[in-house]
């Protein structure tokens, strides 16, 4: 299991709260990996990923537009990539891919490191300058 840690924090409370949801989804994938018949869990995980993408990316992108964030387009493309990947997983899930949970887990862990701890960090200065905390 992964626990929330300061190293994942962007220092903006509303965004951190939503990033904690991502950790929750990762932990569900870690749990589902232990179960042989995990198709129901996988469906739940993919639904949560879909909801997460819709609400969380919308929040970040709304701030980016409001604050004229210069790297908006690039950041939005990464978000779109996550959503596209989630749809591809949904497609594989409908075909009963038994190794899918491992792929989903790898994808989410990479997202945590490269996006949450990487790309998301880049907007912090801009967001804070505009008063977010």
Residues that bind Fe ion (CB under 5 A): 60, 120
Closer Cβ to Fe ion, 89 or 123, answer by number:
123
Closer Cβ to Fe ion, 71 or 106, answer by number:
71
Which SS3 state, helix, strand or coil, does residue 67 take? Answer: coil
Least gap, CB of 123 to Fe ion (angstroms): 8
User: CA–CA distance from 95 to each of 15, 81, 84, 89, 90 (Å)?
Assistant: 34, 21, 17, 10, 9
Least gap, CB of 55 to Fe ion (angstroms): 12
Half-sphere exposure at residue 39, Cβ-oriented, CA atoms within 13 angstroms: 9
Least gap, CB of 97 to Fe ion (angstroms): 27
Residue in the structure block whose two tokens are 């991502």: 22
Closer Cβ to Fe ion, 105 or 120, answer by number:
120
Residues 56 and 21: beta-carbon distance below 8 Å = yes
| Both tokens assigned to 132 | 């977010």
Least gap, CB of 64 to Fe ion (angstroms): 9
Closer Cβ to Fe ion, 60 or 104, answer by number:
60
């Amino acid at each position: 299991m992964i626990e929330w840690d300061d190293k994942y924090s962007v220092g903006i409370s509303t965004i951190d709260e939503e990033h904690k949801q991502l950790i929750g989804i990762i932990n569900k994938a870690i749990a589902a990996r232990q179960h042989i018949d995990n198709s129901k869990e996988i469906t739940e995980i993919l639904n949560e990923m879909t909801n997460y993408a819709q609400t969380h990316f919308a929040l970040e992108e709304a701030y980016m537009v409001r604050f004229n964030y210069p790297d908006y387009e690039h950041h939005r493309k990464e978000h779109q990539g996550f959503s596209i990947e989630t749809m591809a997983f949904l497609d594989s899930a409908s075909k009963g891919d038994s190794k899918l949970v491992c792929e989903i887990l790898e994808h989410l862990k990479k997202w945590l490191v490269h996006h949450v701890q990487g790309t998301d960090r880049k907007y912090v200065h801009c967001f804070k300058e505009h008063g977010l905390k």
